[in-house]
Structure 1
Amino acid sequence: MRGVGEGVAMIVAEELSGRARAVLRAVAAGRAQLTGGCEPDLYIDGLPCCDQMVSHDLVRAGLLRGRREVGLYERTEALLTEAGRAAIS
């Protein structure tokens, strides 16, 4: 029997767009950074992500997070959460 978290990750994974999956793969590869704030901006390979709504949605869904808390204009490494890893596995 699967745990509740696994079921939620499976449902979320089924609803992710191709762009959202690509963002999660970039985060998994260590290529992404997040800024601070309640709506953090995502940078991939040092450049702003072209779809900030996707990155905001992924953070709100609990699929990615920053390594540490930073100020509004500071950046930190973006990391996948357990649910984020499950969503792209």
Structure 2
Amino acid sequence: MTDTPVRITVSGRERALLRAVAAGRCQFRGGCEPVLLVDGLACADWSVARRLVESGLVETPDPRVPLAPARLTEAGSALLTTG
């Protein structure tokens, strides 16, 4: 068994959202289903935001925190710098 890194493919829309997170333009509004805000507005494509969290590119938000900055994981940062 080898430890081959998993390659994650992202769409243009997902890459744009990752760039917005990296630029500090995104926050998560807490709750049972956290909402990603971009420039203070709810992200219209909630499935993209969910996929980025589930794929480990954006840190999982704490649902108990009312409003917190969205942050890239190491994998998310690496994807932006290499691709």
Is the TM-score greater than 0.5? yes
> Is the 8 Å Cα contact of residues 33 and 63 (structure 2) preserved in structure 1?
no
Fraction of identical pairs, as percent? 48
Rounded Cα–Cα distance in structure 2 between residues aligned with 1:65 and 1:35:
13
Are 2:57 and 1:63 equivalent residues in the alignment? yes
Matched letter for residue 36 of structure 1: G
Rounded Cα–Cα distance in structure 2 between residues aligned with 1:85 and 1:62:
11
TM-score by length of 2: 0.81
TM-score by length of 1: 0.76
Rounded Cα–Cα distance in structure 1 between residues aligned with 2:35 and 2:68:
11
Moved over 2 A (4+): 35-40, 68-72
Higher-helix-fraction structure? 1
How far did 1:75 drift? 1.4
Are 2:12 and 1:23 equivalent residues in the alignment? no
Rounded Cα–Cα distance in structure 1 between residues aligned with 2:34 and 2:74:
19
Aligned residues: 79
Superposed CA offset, 1:26-82 (max 9, x none): 00000000123464210000000110000000011111125x73427x110000000
Are 2:72 and 1:80 equivalent residues in the alignment? yes
CA RMSD between the two structures: 2.1
